[in-house]
């Protein structure tokens, strides 16, 4: 972002971000509105405030990242959430994707393996007045069996392979979106339940996510 851009007001920056999402393929007006209503600067650490409105992933605490807005938009759109959906998210991180989902879904359940990130994300979600989010400190690899089945599942860290445990927690016609792969570049995959226990799998292109790590973090 140039010096000139950084003098723009938040509305102008947000408008530019939304335009970028549109040209990147996010066409669902409900998704665009959900992004527009979610002030990204609230989720970005002090050090990177100036870059809050850039369409790029940024570092957050615990060596993790807040996702790139375009990817948040594309993944949210691919999940096809509506006001009846109960959504499971793996990897709360900053809570940004959680907040965007909460504006579209009935209920969002979100799991995170770092206590510090979860505590901060909870505060932000409370600040925004989003009452339909339930978070838990736990290993997302195993999902949330007590609350399953879910209409939708979004994984915001890279799964090394097909997330089979999570697919078993999806309703028969549900949708799961996840980056899958072991390297620095993964494939964004969309699994659509065929109603009979099988899935139609679509590749949505290359993405770069931090890996899904096993167990909860012992450090803060």
Between 8 and 208, CB nearer to ligand SAH: 208
List, in order, residues 6 or more apart from 55 with CB less than 8 Å away.
Answer: 17, 20, 21, 24, 68, 69, 70
When asked if residue 135 is in the footprint of ligand SAH (CB under 6 A), the reply is no
> Which strand (E) or helix (H) includes residue 29?
helix 29-36
79 binds ligand SAH (CB under 6 A): no
Which of 140, 143, 163, 179 binds ligand SAH (CB under 6 A)? It is 140
The piece of 24-32, 87-95, 182-190, 191-199 that touches ligand SAH (CB under 6 A) is 87-95
Q: Does 90 bind ligand SAH (CB under 6 A)?
A: yes
Beta pairing, strands 58-59 & 170-180:
unpaired
CA distance 151 to 107: 10
Rounded Cα distance between 99 and 160, Å, is 26
Nearest approach, Cβ of residue 209 and ligand SAH (Å): 7
* Member of 52, 67, 76, 186 binding ligand SAH (CB under 6 A): 67
3-class SS shares of the chain: helix, strand, coil, % to 5: 35, 25, 40
Site residues (vs ligand SAH, CB under 6 A): 64-67, 90-91, 93-94, 96-97, 111-114, 117, 139-141, 156-157, 210, 212-213
């Amino acid at each position: 972002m140039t010096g000139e851009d950084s003098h723009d007001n938040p509305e102008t920056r947000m408008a530019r971000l939304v335009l970028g999402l549109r040209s990147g393929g996010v066409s669902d007006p409900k998704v665009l509105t959900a992004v527009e209503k979610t002030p990204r600067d609230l989720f970005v650490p002090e050090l990177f405030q100036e870059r809050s409105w850039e369409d790029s992933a940024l570092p957050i605490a615990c060596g993790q990242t807040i996702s790139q807005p375009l990817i948040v938009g594309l993944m949210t759109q691919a999940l096809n959430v509506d006001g009846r959906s109960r959504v499971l998210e793996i990897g709360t991180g900053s809570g940004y994707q959680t907040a965007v989902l909460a504006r579209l879904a009935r209920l969002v359940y979100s799991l995170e393996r770092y206590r510090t990130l979860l505590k901060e994300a909870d505060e932000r979600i409370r600040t925004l007045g989003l009452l339909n989010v339930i978070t838990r400190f736990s290993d997302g690899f195993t999902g949330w069996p007590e609350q399953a089945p879910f209409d939708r599942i979004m994984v915001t860290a890279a799964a090394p392979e097909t997330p089979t445990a999570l697919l078993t927690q999806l309703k028969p016609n549900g949708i799961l979106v996840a980056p899958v792969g072991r390297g620095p570049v993964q494939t964004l995959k969309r699994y659509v339940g065929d109603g009979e226990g099988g899935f139609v799998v679509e590749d949505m292109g290359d993405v770069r996510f931090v890996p899904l790590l096993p167990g909860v973090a012992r450090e803060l």
